[in-house]
Structure formats: C-alpha cells, structure tokens
Structure 1
C-alpha cells in the first residue's frame, strides 16, 4: 500500500526535505489545490483523470491524452515506463523544480482492477526512483 505524504505535507515535498515518491494525495487537499501549489513552486503538473477507467486498456488509453505523451507511446506497460523515464516530451522552455503527476480517482481504478493498479503503481515508483537524484525529480500523488 502506498504511503501517505509524511508531515509536514505538500510544502515539504515541493520545497524541502520530503523526498520524491509515490504517495497518497493528502486527504485535506483537493487535486486543484495541489496542482496550484505545485505550479506556484515551479513544478510541472499533469493530472491523470481515471474516472471511468476500469482496466489496463482504458488506463493506457487515458495516459497519452491526459499526460500528453508523444505519438510513439505504444499503449503498453513498457511504453509507459519509457515515457516516464524520458520526460523530454514534457519539458518546456526553462527548468522545472520537479514533475508532479496527480492520478485522480485512483481508488476506483484500484478497486476495479487491482492487479493493473499495482503494475501501474510499480511503474510509477520505478520512474520516481529514476528521477530521484536528478535536478528535477518526479513525484506521483494517488487520489
């Protein structure tokens, strides 16, 4: 099970000592609030909207739309890992302090397709680990 974001919460993740990771969205904050705070802290934010997503195929169909993946995304787990460890498709002019993916409605996806959710979560964790020691880390928050 994914850990909750440790105290003192989002501000420590965006500006300080909390390491990048795959965490649960703080229960006191909405995805809109988190996205706004991250943008203010110069993090690049993407929202993966999983409403109605109930299986691997639907999950992999939603990723390129919401995360704006490049055309070469192959709609499989390996391609997801490749996109999340590349991020050249996501970079804009100038530097971001970090990259944040907010996976909204994660609990419903997890309930409908627990094996697929575990696989996606493992891929998210591998990507977070890949970016952890770089100048602009990646974090994923599961809503």
Structure 2
C-alpha cells in the first residue's frame, strides 16, 4: 500500500446534530461498521481505529480514509471532548499507518465566523 489517499476506502463520520460523546460513539460505530461489542468509549474507539481486524475487508487491503464532517458544532459545544477525539484520531493514525483521518472544513450548517476573506493561500 502506498501513501496515496486516492486508493483508500473512504468512510464518512458525519457529526451533524451530535451533541455529546455518546452520539459521537454511536455515529462512529455506524460509520465504521464496528462490531456489537464496541465499548463506546475513547479507548475502544482508539483500539477500533487502529485495529485493522475490525475494519471492513476492503479497507484492510487498501487503507482507510475517515472523513469527519460537520464536526464544528460538536467541537464548540464540547471542546474538551473534541480535544480528546482529536487525540484519539492522531493516536490511531500513529499506530495504524493505513489510517488517515481528515476533518472536512466545508459543509457545516453553521455560518463562517470571523472577517472577510476566508481563502487559504500564499
């Protein structure tokens, strides 16, 4: 497997409407088709993300790109939980190089905050 993300199996973790850790865990379990014994806590999420044996078979062969969408409202409502979630994602990526977690910056139902501009560039 190469570092090329275009060949990876893509899974979307949509956090739209999620207001707490339990909701995030439920969405993660569905998005990743985790087994019924998934513990719905941070350690279990870290273990599941970094354990290729619980990934879909196609992801085991090609790698997994987990795209987290509509996370901004959850991050604002539960900043400490969101910090932990980011730490879990980062830890899992260190353990499982076949995993990439990407935070989608668009698609939020929340209007952008801040001033004009909004472009990223040189």
Q: TM-score w.r.t. structure 2 length?
A: 0.75
The Cα of 1:78 is off from its aligned counterpart by: 1.1
Gaps of at least 5 residues in structure 1 are 1-12, 16-37
> Could you list the runs of 4 or more consecutive aligned residues of structure 1 that deviate by over 2 angstroms after TM superposition?
none
8 A Cα contact 1:14 1:43, kept in partner: no
CA distance in 1, matches of 2:71, 2:7: 25
Partner of 2:50: 85
Partner of 1:138: 99
CA distance in 2, matches of 1:71, 1:85: 17
CA distance in 2, matches of 1:138, 1:95: 11
Matched length: 102
DSSP 3-state at the match of 2:76: helix
Residue 116 (structure 1) aligned with residue 116 (structure 2): no
Relative to structure 2, which stretch is displaced further, 55-64 or 119-128?
55-64
1:2-41 paired onto structure 2 within 5 Å: 15=4, 41=6
Gaps of at least 5 residues in structure 2 are 105-122
The Cα of 1:66 is off from its aligned counterpart by: 1.5
List per-residue Cα deviations over 1:9-30 (Å, max 9, x = no partner): xxxx963xxxxxxxxxxxxxxx
Alignment root-mean-square deviation, CA: 1.9
Residue 53 (structure 1) aligned with residue 18 (structure 2): yes
Q: TM-score w.r.t. structure 1 length?
A: 0.65
8 A Cα contact 1:46 1:102, kept in partner: yes
8 A Cα contact 2:50 2:99, kept in partner: no
Q: 1:125 aligns with which of 59, 74, 90?
A: 90
Partner of 1:43: 8
